[in-house]
Chain A
Amino acid sequence: MKNQTQAEAMFPAKLGAWHLAREFLERFCAEASLARTPSLRLNLILEELFTNTVNHGHRGDSDFLIWISLSEFDRKVVVTYLDQGVPFNPLAMSKAQLDVPPDERKIGGLGVYLTRELTLDSSYAYLYGRNRLQLVMAV
């Protein structure tokens, strides 16, 4: 039976640090032998969470930290994502925007929606001053 692949790392909450998180993610995908399309889906989820934290959680680059933990087993990846931004549960956002014709939609909220649609299961908690999001996606 295939072993579980796990990795975790922390990054400064700055847009310029996203490439470091992306490198970390790509190493994980290679170690877990993930196919290209699920790797890109995972990349999208993390990019959306990361940029959301910086742009909305901290309103720009900051010295706060973002923790990412990834675990792959049995054709699923569990993402545990923590940040120190203002309490915010992205999973609670409504889907209402999608009912608006695409060219009349407001720009924003799409990343959170994509994240939700690409995951099988998710949970959120605000604990000890941190947003903690756990997502499960099929790979």
Chain B
Amino acid sequence: MSLVPTINGKAMILGLKGRLDQDNCEVFRGELAPHLESAAREGLAIVLDLSQLEYVSSAGLRCFMLAVRQTKALNGRIVVAALQPMVAEIFQISRFNMLLEVFATVAAAVSAVSMDGFGTKK
């Protein structure tokens, strides 16, 4: 899963594709970490675009939890958008929708983080 950031307004959008499971969760964590730091440094919120993510297991959920903790430590913000049916179901069952702000679309997420004041360089 190669993460290529797109900046839109006050958001850094990162798209996840395919699956997030025990086979690729460590690679994903390694790829995500520098983006979390760079977004926090630039005062951008991270928007994870999950529209192409078909599957997540508990190994993948752990990545999200660790990303949230890392983002909090950096005084940053991370949200998720456009969850596919299976991923949305797993978020609901595990109550990860209480851990991460969930938006129906990437546009809605970008709009929300931009209005809430992220984007001002620290």
**With A98-B95, A103-B65, A114-B94 known to touch, is A43 a contact of B55 (CB < 8 Å)?**
yes
Cβ–Cβ < 8 Å partners of B21 in chain A: 47
**Residue pair B98, A114 in contact (C-beta under 8 Å):** no
**Which of A18, A37, A51 contacts B86 (CB under 8 A)?**
A37
Cβ–Cβ < 8 Å partners of B2 in chain A: none
- Mark A103-133 against chain B: 1 for CB-CB distance below 8 A, else 0: 1010100110110011000000000000000
**Residue pair A103, B58 in contact (C-beta under 8 Å):** no
Nearest chain B CB to A46 CB, angstrom units: 10
Cβ–Cβ < 8 Å partners of B96 in chain A: 102
**Residue pair A48, B58 in contact (C-beta under 8 Å):** yes
**Which of A37, A103, A105, A107 contacts B85 (CB under 8 A)?**
A37
Bound CA–CA A111/B58 (angstroms): 5
Classify the secondary structure of A's interface with B: helix
**Residue pair A113, B94 in contact (C-beta under 8 Å):** yes
Cβ–Cβ < 8 Å partners of A41 in chain B: 86, 89
User: Is there a chain B Cβ closer than 8 Å to A40's Cβ?
Assistant: yes
**Residue pair B90, A44 in contact (C-beta under 8 Å):** yes
User: Is there a chain A Cβ closer than 8 Å to B69's Cβ?
Assistant: yes
**Residue pair A105, B54 in contact (C-beta under 8 Å):** no
Bound CA–CA A114/B92 (angstroms): 10
Bound CA–CA A116/B21 (angstroms): 18
User: Is there a chain B Cβ closer than 8 Å to A75's Cβ?
Assistant: no
Interface residues on B, range: 20 to 34
Nearest chain A CB to B33 CB, angstrom units: 16
Give the residue name and chain of the A residue nearest to B66 (CB): A107
Cβ–Cβ < 8 Å partners of B99 in chain A: 102-103
**Residue pair B86, A19 in contact (C-beta under 8 Å):** no
User: Is there a chain A Cβ closer than 8 Å to B111's Cβ?
Assistant: no
Report A7-21 residues with CB < 8 Å from chain B CB: 15, 18-19
Bound CA–CA A44/B98 (angstroms): 21
Report B92-120 residues with CB < 8 Å from chain A CB: 93-96, 98-99
Closest 8 CB pairs of A and B: A102-B99, A111-B58, A110-B58, A40-B86, A117-B93, A47-B57, A40-B55, A102-B98
What are 9 A-B contacts defined by CB distance under 8 Å?
A36-B54, A48-B57, A102-B95, A102-B96, A102-B98, A110-B62, A111-B59, A113-B94, A118-B93
